[in-house]
Amino acid sequence: MSILRFSDGVEIDTSGEYRTLKLKDGWYVVGQGTLQPCADQEEAVSVRDELKALAEKKTDPGLPGGGTS
């Protein structure tokens, strides 16, 4: 488990699948050890979907360009 702790007391678990997160200061995409700020909910959903697709492509050797070399 990867947890980011901020001085204002906010703690965010960045492990697991990519997902959107709404905090008091805005929208984020969280997952796979990352935290990506986004302008709004629409951008967060778009970024999440792109990251999921990229992760899926990297781990699926059946897709062109996927798998490990």
Q: pTM score > 0.85 for this model?
A: no
Q: What is the mean pLDDT of residues 13-31?
A: 97
**pLDDT value for 68:** 55
Q: Over the chain, what is the mean pLDDT?
A: 90
Q: What is the mean pLDDT of residues 29-39?
A: 97
Give CA–CA dist 57/2, Å, rounded: 23
Q: Which amino acid is at 18?
A: Y
User: In Å, what is the CA distance from 20 to each residue of 11, 62, 65?
Assistant: 15, 28, 27
3-state secondary structure of 44: helix
